[in-house]
Amino acid sequence: MKLSRPALLPGLVSLVGLLLLWQVVSLFFLASFLPSPAELLSRVAAIFSNPPAYLIVGKTLERILAGLVLSMLIGAVIGLVMGLRPAVGSFFDSWIMVLLTFPAISWAFLSVLWFGISDLAPIFTIVLIVFPYVTMNVWEGTKAMDKELTDMAMVFRANQFLLLRKVLIPQLMPYIFSSLRISFALSWKIALVSEAFGAGRGVGKELMYWFQGIRADMMLAWGVSFMVLMVLIDVMVLKRWEKRVFAWRQIAVA
């Protein structure tokens, strides 16, 4: 049996082309302004041959995780309650719109003013920016819930808790998972920006440090290695998890 895969060749050509172009352009600049691919790789190796680098990455991951978990919890609960209780829905509707339209960068600055240089500032920034997206998404999900299944559960006399657990929340899972992946991508970008202004240690702080030292090579080395880590988490953890949760959707092929 042949595995049908997306053609590898076009992707490979574009990757090699990009590296070549990068190499050629980098010849015209200082390594600290625009490093070549090989130089960048040596900077990455230099960073991670130094043990504190792992602590820095760990600290940033910790904040991302805290911000993400809080955003998902707060966002999903509010979205669910808004969907189940229309009065709550119209009550929070305008609040969520305000939060969604408020400039994200303002939160990054405001949280430093309010919380100072601490873990709290980046986490607060992540939560305020991300949870409204989760809320909107989950709220949207509640509108697509199947009334017929709720009726079925009522006929069989399911209590509210059983209804929520086995009937309603499973219907929201697609929305929760799409929120999770968007939130993750948003969270780590926000974390870095926020850390640049308001953290004692973290990848964002490193970027700020090397920015002030006018070292584009080191900024790129940190940026690229963190990006790779985030893509790995998305593919290895989130996508796999999603696949397992939705195993029931795979219809048998005769």
Partner 1 sequence: MSSNAVEIESLSKMFPTPSGLSRFAVLESLNLQIERGTFASIVGPSGCGKSTLLNIIAGIEAHDSGRVCIVAQNGTNSAARIGYVFQSPRLLNWLTVEDNIRFALEAQNIGKLRWNERVKKYLDMVGLAGQERNYPLKLSGGMQQRVAIARALAIEPDILLMDEPFSHLDEITARKMRVDLMHILEHAHPTILFVTHSLREAVFLSEEVYMMSVKPARIFKHLRVDIPRPREPEDPRLFDLEKDLVKEFFAVLERDYR
Q: Summarize as ranges the residues that interact with partner 1 (CB under 8 A).
A: 148-149, 151-159, 162, 166-167, 170, 173, 247-252
Rounded to a whole number of angstroms, the minimum distance from the CB of residue 163 to partner 1 is: 9
Rounded least distance, CB 166 to partner 1, Å: 6
Q: Which is nearer to partner 1, 159 or 212 (CB)?
A: 159
Residue with tokens 């009334």: 147
Closest to partner 1 by CB, 9 vs 252, is: 252
Burial (CB count within 10 angstroms: exposed 0-12, middle 13-18, buried 19+), residue 252: exposed
Toward partner 1, which CB reaches closer, 61 or 180?
180
Q: How far is the CB of 177 from partner 1 (least distance, A)?
A: 13
Per residue, the 3-state secondary structure of the chain, as one string, reads CCCCCCCCHHHHHHHHHHHHHHHHHHCCCCCCCCCCHHHHHHHHHHHHCCCHHHHHHHHHHHHHHHHHHHHHHHHHHHHHHHHHCHHHHHHHHHHHHHHHHCCHHHHHHHHHHHHCCCCHHHHHHHHHHHHHHHHHHHHHHHHCCCHHHHHHHHHCCCCHHHHHHHHHHHHHHHHHHHHHHHHHHHHHHHHHHHHHHHCCCCHHHHHHHHHHCCCHHHHHHHHHHHHHHHHHHHHHHHHHHHHHHCHHHCCCCC
CB–CB of 163/157 below 8 Å? Answer: no
Q: In this complex, which beta carbon is closest to partner 1, that of residue 129 or of residue 168?
A: 168
**Complex with partner 1: residue 45 or 162, whichever CB lies closer:** 162
Closest distance to partner 1 from the beta carbon of 245 (Å) = 9
C-alpha angle 24-28-29 in degrees, rounded to nearest 5: 115
CB-wise, 117 or 149, nearer to partner 1?
149
Shortest reach from residue 64's CB to partner 1, in Å: 29
| Shortest distance (Å) from residue 112 CB to partner 1 | 43
CA gap 205, 249 in Å, rounded: 43
Nearer to partner 1, 94 or 250 (CB): 250
Q: Report in angstroms how near the CB of residue 173 gets to partner 1 at its nearest.
A: 8
